[in-house]
Amino acid sequence: MLEVSLRHRLGAFALEAAFAAPPGVTVLFGPSGSGKSSILAAVAGLLRPAAGRVALDGAPLTDTARGVFLPPERRRCATVFQEGRLFPHLSVASNLRYGLRRAPRGAAGPGFAEVVALLGLEALLERRPARLSGGEKQRVALGRALLARPRLLLLDEPLAALDAPRRQEVLPFLEALRDRAGLPMLYVTHALDEADRLADTLVLLEAGQVRAAGPLAALTARTDLPLLAARRDAGVVLPCHVAAQDPAAGLTLLDFPGGRLRVSWREAPLGQPLRLRVRARDVAVALPGVALSGVLSTGNALPATLRAVERRGDAECFLRLAVGESTLLARVTREAVARLGLRPGQAVVALVSAVSAGQG
Ligand X SMILES: Nc1ncnc2c1ncn2[C@@H]1O[C@H](COP(=O)(O)OP(=O)(O)OP(=O)(O)O)[C@@H](O)[C@H]1O
Q: Which is nearer to ligand X, 109 or 208 (CB)?
A: 208
Pseudo-torsion of CA 57, 61, 63, 67, nearest 10°?
140
Q: Are 177 and 24 in contact (CB under 8 A)?
A: no
- Return the closest-CA partner of residue 250 out of 267, 233, 270: 267
Candidates 8-16, 177-185, 209-217, 298-306; binding stretch for ligand X (CB under 6 A):
8-16
Q: How far is the CB of 31 from ligand X (least distance, A)?
A: 7
Helix (H) or strand (E) holding 179: helix 164-180
Candidates 25-33, 112-120, 135-143, 265-273; binding stretch for ligand X (CB under 6 A):
25-33
Candidates 27-35, 114-122, 251-259, 321-329; binding stretch for ligand X (CB under 6 A):
27-35
Q: What distances in angstroms separate CA 301 from CA 51, 87, 181, 291, 345, one per listed residue? A: 53, 54, 39, 10, 18
What is the DSSP secondary structure assignment for residue 107, as one 8-state letter?
-
Burial 218-236 (b: 16+ CB within 10 A, else e): ebbbbbebebbbeeebbbb
Q: How far is the CB of 244 from ligand X (least distance, A)?
A: 40
Interface with ligand X, residue 110, by CB under 6 A: no
Q: What are phi and psi of 67, to 5 degrees?
A: 70, 25
Q: How far is the CB of 218 from ligand X (least distance, A)?
A: 23
- Between residue 28 and residue 87, which ones bind ligand X under the rule CB under 6 A? 30, 32-38
Candidates 7-15, 16-24, 49-57, 339-347; binding stretch for ligand X (CB under 6 A):
7-15
Per-residue contact string for residues 190-219; x = within reach of ligand X by CB under 6 A: x-----------------------------
Interface with ligand X, residue 13, by CB under 6 A: yes
Q: How far is the CB of 42 from ligand X (least distance, A)?
A: 9
Q: Computed from CA positions of residues 156, 162, 166, 168, in that sequence, does the dihedral angle turn out positive or negative?
A: positive
Interface residues toward ligand X, by CB under 6 A: 10-11, 13, 30, 32-38, 190
